[in-house]
Structure 1
Amino acid sequence: MARGDAVDAIVVGSGPNGLAAAVTLARAGLSVRVHEAAAEPGGGARTAELTLPGFRHDVCSAVHPMALASPFFRAFGLERRIELRVPELSFAHPLDGGRAGLAWRDFDRTVAGLGRDGRAYRRLLAQLVAHEAAVTEFTGSTLLRAPRHPLVAAGFGLRALEQGTPAWNLRFRGDVAPAMLTGVAAHAIRPLPSLGTAGTGLVLTTHAHARGWPIPVGGSGAIVAALVDDLVAHGGEVATDAAVDDLAALPPARAVLLDVTPRALARLAGDRLPARYRRALRGFRYGNAAAKVDFALAGPVPWADPAVAGAGTVHLGGTREEIAAGERDVARGRHPSSPYVLVSQPSTLDESRAPEGRHVLWTYTHVPAGSTLDPTEAVTRQVERFAPGFRDLVLASSSRSAEQMQAENPNYIGGDIASGAPSLAQLVRRPVLSPDPWRTPLAGVYLASASTPPGPGVHGLAGWHAAASALRHEFGLGMPRLAP
């Protein structure tokens, strides 16, 4: 296919959601072209040498809690296409004094390690872990659809009400279990406690104890490569360096699926959109930001608690109260003196990521939207707090402020890697209140990004749902088989 040729479907944007949509459409027998503005596909799910030769870093996402649980990736057979290494220790949460909370895949082992709060942790999470597939089902699509497992959904809702309100400390006596839960909830980059952060924390913690949080061998780019390979094998193509500035400039297609933000959709479609829908897109709110630092290290991170070294993910920031205070500062437009930092050292699981004996360290921290601050010193100081001697291991680093995050990926408005604040309101209305929020009022045009349900994460579900809607409405087709 030449770039100007007519096709059945065009996908704009080649992040995991855009590629999931493209793969689904191509597997249904349609001709599909993906337009990507960057020089290579993948969006935030790319892997590159950012510091020194031979050190391969993930550009945005590194650890993938939904890689094994996502219905799309399960249908696609991702774990049969690439190697996913799942650490026994899903995440760790260091505290001062050399202590740490350890969230093992083994739920009982985690409970046993929490002492007097173990029983409370079990009561909070046991039902969700036992019914992880049901949790994934009702949180993996629009919340307007009736869940197939209403009792599990109700239990999830009650727990979110507890952990999303000032009642979040009532069941605990110590500081370790609350800190662990807060470290996961803070992934949402929102003030704590809130219903949106509680929901995020409960879902991710459920996956940590059910299937685990895997790391792809070779980096996140391996996921993108598997999707592109399947697309090409079924007749599709990816056109890179192919920015789209106006929907009218696209070649003819029966369906156009956009892995872009609502703001970009409003710009691409202009006054062709109904005024009410256009107002809804412009009223969509973007959240606080992430700033990122990648390190090339001479050796593994010297955690004060050696057990932390076995974790695929580490949450830094101290106690529940410290993290909540830091997230409040971010929401008020201030840079916290003690920031929340999310850390992964994938080279402990995947030796291909760094030269022999060396390591890569992936980190990001939370900052106000649009921040221009270089986060290197703040992140280094927080890692050093829980791993004395860390500074001495740094061979090189590469940082990106929130402003630079947006410059690299236009979907990260102001550095918002969630492509829209994951508040409760915007998880229900993302970006509009509809049982089919992926379908726009423009004939044949669909929104297929993290700005639609189920929201952020490398899971492909937003693109998969958008493709299902397009297949149904534009082509009269059902969902195809995706397995290898």
Structure 2
Amino acid sequence: MTDAIVVGAGHNGLVAANLLADAGWDVLVLEAVGTPGGAVRSAEVTAPGYLSDLYSSFYPLGYASPVLRRLRLDDHGLTWRHAPDVLAHLLPDDRAVLLNRDPTVTAASVERFAPGDGDRWLAAYDDWRRVSGPLLAALFSPFPPVRGAVDLLRRLGAGGALRLARTLALPVDRLAAELFAGEGAALLLAGCALHTDLAPGDVGSGVYGWLLAMLGQQVGWPVPAGGAGRITDALLARLRDRGGRVRTGTPVERVLVARGRAMGVRTAAGEALRARRAVLADVPAPALYLDLVGAARLPSRLVDDLTRFRWDGSTVKVDWALAGPVPWRNPGLRGAGTVHLGGDLAGLRAGAATLAAGGLSDDPFLLVGQLAVADPARAPAGAESLWAYSHLPFRRHWSTEDVAAQVARMEAALERHAPGFGRLVRGRHVAGPADLERGDPSLVGGAVGGGTSAAYQQLFFRPVPGLGRADTPIDRLFLAGASAHPGGGVHGGPGANAARAALARDRAVTGRWYGATVGAANRAIYR
């Protein structure tokens, strides 16, 4: 028997396990596949000497996350590398707008698109710096984020807080129009928003564009030296130093429940493992509730709500081993760690509308990563380890032919803006939606965000209308994956929130009150 069982060794599961181990708990982590890390892994999959990040890569949220900072992963070997430029957005005519960690460089780039936008960018960045500390604290705290909200109110006053709330609700195209006169700065925001499954005109898309762009300005979009897997390595090393254990190749079949309380798990091999204090699940919400717990043990209204749970879009990701740097027509892209490739504002809107209607664009929006630009050790000297991904409409199953056609569109777009790209390819690795899910079962249908980023599935609507917390209707069972608030991205928020909830439930004096309060709230919501 152990104090806590964590189902899933993705980064959120490992964050939760570390925090419980810090509190002196005996923790066992069970991972279904043969390698820990979930969507935070790296390997040589294209050609010898070329290191690729298999899923996620550049990490502004991870670098800025107060959750990961408190874990001091640098003490366990994690170091970061930055590209000369954070981001370049490439227009169809090969003009580009650059985001650089030096605000004056970014301002000069956006100024070329509209006089005065340089000063407007610097003013927007000043506004961001005023609120970034308490805003990030609120974002990564359990809902409701009382301390962060109070700090914001103290800094901004009631009127300023109301205006910030309005800003956070804006579509990104509306936010950009209110802040800037030209297309350059607007494209930086809109391209960042399209890291999610939202369209530029969707309510709430502005907060994602603003957050990622301003984090890029403030801290950059760094990569771990030696690959994304170094984040996982550091989390594992830290956990083992504190006595935590990880078992891979051990899929969990069922959460064991007795008298409304999680008692442990049963593995697919039939092994029953008991947990004295808590079970935490770094898996998607539908998998936890419907597969591991079972509808019969849940309130019928919760089961009904899950039928309306919406995934984010499917994904196709391609990695290439290139014999040399990408031969961009615009040489200004050579120093960018990330390149957004896929159009002007009208093109971004049109492409997003096509996806929303269930179609595929002939000229898809691409997120492109030049890994060796940021971390030269990712490729042989003078070469490049390149990746790109594009979104598809969500489907559980995509045919091999559909994936191949999307890859052809992606490579055609690269060839159009970087003539001779194809001649440099020395190896290629394609991961369609099924491949992504096979490597990490939490990426259902190739959806990498744990569920849509739409406003109707955020905060206390995530994963379904409820408390917006890691607690579930089953006592001492906690949701620790990206389906929980604050959602997708490599920042550790869901895992940390689940660990905090488990610790609060187990406290000798207040734990019983906490459990009774959460239980009563859940009964009121789901009755």
Q: Which residue of 2 aligns with 1:90?
A: 86
Structure 2 matches for 1:4-403, cutoff 5 A?
6-81=1-76, 82-115=78-111, 116=115, 117-141=117-141, 144-146=144-146, 147=149, 148-150=151-153, 151=156, 154-164=162-172, 166=174, 168-248=176-256, 249=266, 250-253=272-275, 254-266=277-289, 267-270=291-294, 271-370=296-395, 371-372=398-399, 373-374=402-403, 375-403=406-434
Q: TM-score, normalised by structure 1?
A: 0.93
Moved more, 384-393 or 427-436: 427-436
Instruction: Say which of 470, 484, 495 aligns to 1:452.
Output: 484
Counterpart code for 1:443: D
Displacement after TM superposition at 1:282 (Å):
3.6
Return the index of the structure with the highest Cα Rg.
2
Query: What RMSD, in angstroms, separates the aligned Cα atoms of the two structures?
Result: 2.0
Displacement after TM superposition at 1:263 (Å):
0.9
Distance 1:477 1:313, change over 3 A: farther
Structure 2: how far apart are the matches of 1:477 and 1:108?
Answer: 54
Moved more, 232-241 or 125-134: 125-134
Q: Which residue of 1 aligns with 2:520?
A: none
Asked whether the equivalents of residues 124 and 159 of structure 1 are also in contact (C-alpha less than 8 Å), the reply is no
**Residue aligned with 2:63, SS:** coil
Structure 1: how far apart are the matches of 2:100 and 2:386?
Answer: 21
Displacement after TM superposition at 1:170 (Å):
5.0
Structure 1: how far apart are the matches of 2:326 and 2:318?
Answer: 15
Asked whether the equivalents of residues 427 and 454 of structure 1 are also in contact (C-alpha less than 8 Å), the reply is yes
Deviations 1:145-184 (A, max 9, x none): 3413133754443333444465743554432222221111
**Residue aligned with 1:296, SS:** strand
Asked whether the equivalents of residues 10 and 40 of structure 2 are also in contact (C-alpha less than 8 Å), the reply is yes
Counterpart code for 1:402: P
**Residue aligned with 1:62, SS:** coil
Structure 1: how far apart are the matches of 2:229 and 2:372?
Answer: 15
Asked whether the equivalents of residues 93 and 180 of structure 1 are also in contact (C-alpha less than 8 Å), the reply is yes
Distance 1:473 1:101, change over 3 A: same
**Structure 2: runs of 5 or more not aligned:** 257-265, 267-271, 511-527
Structure 2: how far apart are the matches of 1:94 and 1:436?
Answer: 38
Displacement after TM superposition at 1:352 (Å):
2.3
Deviations 1:438-466 (A, max 9, x none): 01111110000011111111111110111
Distance 1:149 1:130, change over 3 A: closer
Counterpart code for 1:320: L
Asked whether the equivalents of residues 367 and 402 of structure 1 are also in contact (C-alpha less than 8 Å), the reply is no
Counterpart code for 2:80: L
Moved more, 463-472 or 151-160: 151-160
Structure 2: how far apart are the matches of 1:167 and 1:297?
Answer: 38
**Residue aligned with 2:305, SS:** helix
Structure 1: how far apart are the matches of 2:509 and 2:210?
Answer: 35
**Residue aligned with 1:188, SS:** coil
Displacement after TM superposition at 1:202 (Å):
1.1
Identity %: 36
Higher relative contact order (CA 8 A, sep 6+): 1
**Residue aligned with 2:97, SS:** strand
**Residue aligned with 2:348, SS:** helix
Distance 1:104 1:264, change over 3 A: same
Q: TM-score, normalised by structure 2?
A: 0.85
Distance 1:143 1:33, change over 3 A: closer
